[in-house]
Structure 1
Amino acid sequence: MGAQFSQFFPPRPSFTEADFESQSGNVFIVTGGSSGIGYELVKKLYQKGGNVYIAGRSEDKARAAIREIESAVSTGGKLNFLFLELDDLSSIKASVEEFKKKEKKLNVLWHNAGVSQPPLGSVSKQGYELQLATNCLGPFLLTKLLLPLLERVVWTSSQIVELSAPKGGLVMSELSTPPRDRTRNYINSKTGNLLLAAELARRFGQSHGIISVAVNPGAANTDLFRHTPWMPYVAWPLLYTAEKASNSQFYAGLSSDITAENNGCYIIPWGRISQSMRKDLVDATKQIGDGGTGRAEGFWEFCEEHTKAYV
Structure 2
Amino acid sequence: MGVQFSQVFPSKPTFTSNNTPIQAGKIILITGAASGIGFELAKILYGKGAKVYIAGRSEEKARVAIEAIQRDVPQVDGSALIFLPLYLDDLTTIKGTVEIFQKMESRLDMLFNNAGVSQPPVGSLSQQGIELQLATNCLGPFLLTSLLRPLLENATKTAEPGTVRVIWTSSQVVEFSTPPEGMIMSQLTNPPKDPVVNYTNSKLGNWFLAAEMARRDGRNGILSVAQNPGAANTNLLRNARWMKLLSRPLLHSPVLAAHTLLYAGFSPDLTLENHIDAYVIPWGRIHPGVADNLRRAIDRSEDGGSGRAKEFWEFCEKATGEYA
TM-score, reference length from structure 2: 0.94
Is 2:255 aligned against 1:253? no
Is 2:123 aligned against 1:121? yes
Counterpart CA distance in 2 for 1:276 and 1:238 is 23
Residue pairs, 1:97-136, within 5 angstroms: 97-136=99-138
Counterpart CA distance in 2 for 1:11 and 1:294 is 34
- Counterpart in 1 of 2:155? none
Task: Report the secondary structure of 1:267's partner residue.
Answer: strand
Task: Report the secondary structure of 1:262's partner residue.
Answer: coil
Counterpart CA distance in 1 for 2:101 and 2:181 is 37
Counterpart CA distance in 2 for 1:280 and 1:168 is 7
Counterpart CA distance in 1 for 2:238 and 2:74 is 32
Cα-to-partner distance string for 1:114-144 (whole Å, 9 max, x where unaligned): 0000000000000000000000000000010
Counterpart CA distance in 1 for 2:226 and 2:258 is 14
Deviation at 1:74, TM superposition (A): 1.9
Deviation at 1:49, TM superposition (A): 0.6
Counterpart CA distance in 1 for 2:193 and 2:37 is 29
- Counterpart in 2 of 1:46? 46
- Counterpart in 2 of 1:267? 280
Cα-to-partner distance string for 1:129-174 (whole Å, 9 max, x where unaligned): 0000000000000010011122210000000000111113210000
- Counterpart in 2 of 1:287? 300
- Counterpart in 2 of 1:137? 139
Is 2:15 aligned against 1:15? yes
Counterpart CA distance in 2 for 1:237 and 1:64 is 29
Task: Report the secondary structure of 1:307's partner residue.
Answer: helix
Deviation at 1:293, TM superposition (A): 0.4
Cα-to-partner distance string for 1:170-227 (whole Å, 9 max, x where unaligned): 1000001000101100000000001000000011111x11100000000001000110
Counterpart CA distance in 1 for 2:169 and 2:45 is 18
Counterpart CA distance in 2 for 1:255 and 1:3 is 20
Deviation at 1:59, TM superposition (A): 0.4
Output the aligned Cα RMSD: 0.8
- Counterpart in 2 of 1:149? 151
Amino acid at match of 2:114: N
Gaps of 5+ in 1: none
Residue pairs, 1:48-63, within 5 angstroms: 48-63=48-63
Of 77, 80, 83, the residue aligned with 1:78 is 80
Cα-to-partner distance string for 1:252-293 (whole Å, 9 max, x where unaligned): 011111101111321000000112111111111111011010
Counterpart CA distance in 2 for 1:168 and 1:211 is 27
Deviation at 1:228, TM superposition (A): 1.0
Is 2:213 aligned against 1:200? yes
Task: Report the secondary structure of 2:179's partner residue.
Answer: coil
Counterpart CA distance in 1 for 2:11 and 2:262 is 16
Of 271, 282, 307, the residue aligned with 2:320 is 307
| Mean Cα deviation higher: 131-140 or 2-11 | 2-11
TM-score, reference length from structure 1: 0.98
Of 216, 241, 245, the residue aligned with 2:253 is 241
- Counterpart in 1 of 2:233? 221
- Counterpart in 1 of 2:36? 36
Task: Report the secondary structure of 1:237's partner residue.
Answer: helix
Residue pairs, 1:164-179, within 5 angstroms: 164-179=177-192
Counterpart CA distance in 2 for 1:192 and 1:139 is 11
Cα-to-partner distance string for 1:3-26 (whole Å, 9 max, x where unaligned): 101111111111011111211100
Of 82, 87, 94, the residue aligned with 1:92 is 94
Gaps of 5+ in 2: 153-163
Task: Report the secondary structure of 1:80's partner residue.
Answer: strand
Counterpart CA distance in 1 for 2:182 and 2:238 is 26
Amino acid at match of 1:200: M
Task: Report the secondary structure of 2:305's partner residue.
Answer: coil
Give the length in aligned residue pairs.
Answer: 310
Deviation at 1:300, TM superposition (A): 0.3
Is 2:233 aligned against 1:231? no
| Mean Cα deviation higher: 187-196 or 279-288 | 279-288
Amino acid at match of 2:123: G
Amino acid at match of 2:103: K
Percent identical across equivalent pairs?
56
Counterpart CA distance in 2 for 1:254 and 1:195 is 21
Task: Report the secondary structure of 1:54's partner residue.
Answer: strand
Is 2:163 aligned against 1:161? no
